[in-house]
Amino acid sequence: MDPVERSLLVAASRLNADSARMQRVQKLAQRDLNWEALVNQSTIHGTAGIIYRNLTASGHSVDIPEAELERLKKIYLMTAAMGLRHLTQLREIAQELTSQGIEIIVLKGAVLAERIYGDVGLRPFSDVDILVREEDWPRIYEVLKKKGCQPPPGKDFREVPPKLMKYDVMSHMQWTSPLGTCLEFQFDLLTMGVGMRDIGGVWDRSRKAEILGSEVRVLGPEDQLLHLVIHANRHGCARLKWLSDISESLYQNGHDWDLLVRIAQREGIAACFHATIAHIQRLYDTRLVPEEVMRRIKPRFYKEAVWNRIWPQEQLGEFQGRHEDAICFYFYRPLSGWNLLNFVLTGRVRDKLVYQLRWIFPSLKWMSVTYGKPRSLALLKYYLWRLAGFAVKRDKH
């Protein structure tokens, strides 16, 4: 994409753009632009709705071709219709779970579209992410079955699979509702391969809120911000809507900075938080986090070097960051170069080494459930298969 078009794409993707930024949008829009390419990119980045609102709010000073303006309007309306369908399905499932005494925390798009953006046409989301407690899953399973939801083929888990260790978590379970909405149930907020040290604190800090008239729980502002930062890192900061989520959450929500710093340091994500916020502040040319807070969480030089190795500034500027590398720990890849970078970037080395060891030599109970065999010494032969599989995975990675 042409640098001028990229600059307009970024400038027009701010939800709460001040007069100076809107003047910049108008000035950039007067250049000789490839509007078709810009609209295509806004669709990819999930910001077409915001750009449509900003460009139409600019009045006649933006000379956008009528055909491309109609495309933006159509995308906005389609996004709104899809969002309302997802939220309607969420409300139905949430009401049934609540009636059974099951608490849920709604995450990301389903919360942001209504509570941060204030318009489901401005923030597209393709699924509904829900944080649940592991011990509630058997009852959640029954509710989903009752509502006619379907799991992925071969993953009809009535019980959560056994753990290898304390911080072992299943990343998510995806079910499809009768209306075609993907319901993604998560058991850990950060989903970085190793479970959070204080997932209980996430639940304690959550609060009640209404989404489409239905009462659910949402994350506290500090947990929401960290969740959005890690999600953006997992996907290489490659879409503007994820960066806009972070920017708008910082702009609209008040934050307890001491609490945020404590959570980030405890969970080993302070370096990722600092680097991501610094990138967003450069991108939008604005201050979002107090400088004193940024100094407190500034990583040591070697952690900063690792982050820049994985997500070089020139790649981030082109929205071409790597996906998941090093931010996510893969316990079945002990000697992977990316795992070694992960040890530096996010820490918790002891927990991760124990996790790797338990994966190579799991308990007989875990082996029995995993391989569907009676718990006996006969399972020992499966350890050889696991070691052979480990060697193959190591070679591949």
How big is the chain by its Cα radius of gyration, in Å? 23
Confidence class for position 394, pLDDT limits 50, 70, 90:
very low
pLDDT of residue 396: 42
Q: What percent of the chain has pLDDT over 90?
A: 62
Is residue 221 pLDDT above 60, yes or no? yes
The pair of three-digit structure tokens given for residue 48, joined into one six-digit string: 């077409």
Which tens digits make up the pLDDT trace of 96-134?
A: 999 999 999 999 999 999 899 999 999 999 999 999 999
The domains of the chain are located at: 1-64, 82-325, 345-396
* Distances, alpha carbon 290 to alpha carbons 151, 182, 261, 287, in Å: 44, 37, 12, 7
Is residue 61 pLDDT above 90, yes or no? no
- Type of residue at 166: K
pLDDT of residue 25: 83
Going by C-alpha positions, the residue among 267, 291, 263 that lies closest to residue 277 is: 291
For the beta carbon of residue 181, count every other beta carbon within 10 angstroms: 22
Q: Which CATH class is domain 82-325?
A: alpha beta
Of the chain, the end-to-end C-alpha distance in Å amounts to 32
* CB-based contacts of 279, cutoff 8 Å, min separation 6: 237, 243, 311, 313, 316
Which whole number is the average pLDDT over 70-79? 96
Strand partners, 106: 130, 218
Which whole number is the average pLDDT over 206-219? 90
pLDDT of residue 172: 87
**CA separation for the pair 343, 273 (Å, rounded):** 16
Rounded to two decimals, the pTM is: 0.91
Residue-by-residue DSSP string for 296-352: HTPPPHHHHHHHHHHS-HHHHHTT-PPSSTTTS--TT-TT-HHHHHHHHHH--HHHH
What is the average pLDDT score of the chain? Answer: 89
pLDDT of residue 59: 57
DSSP 30: T
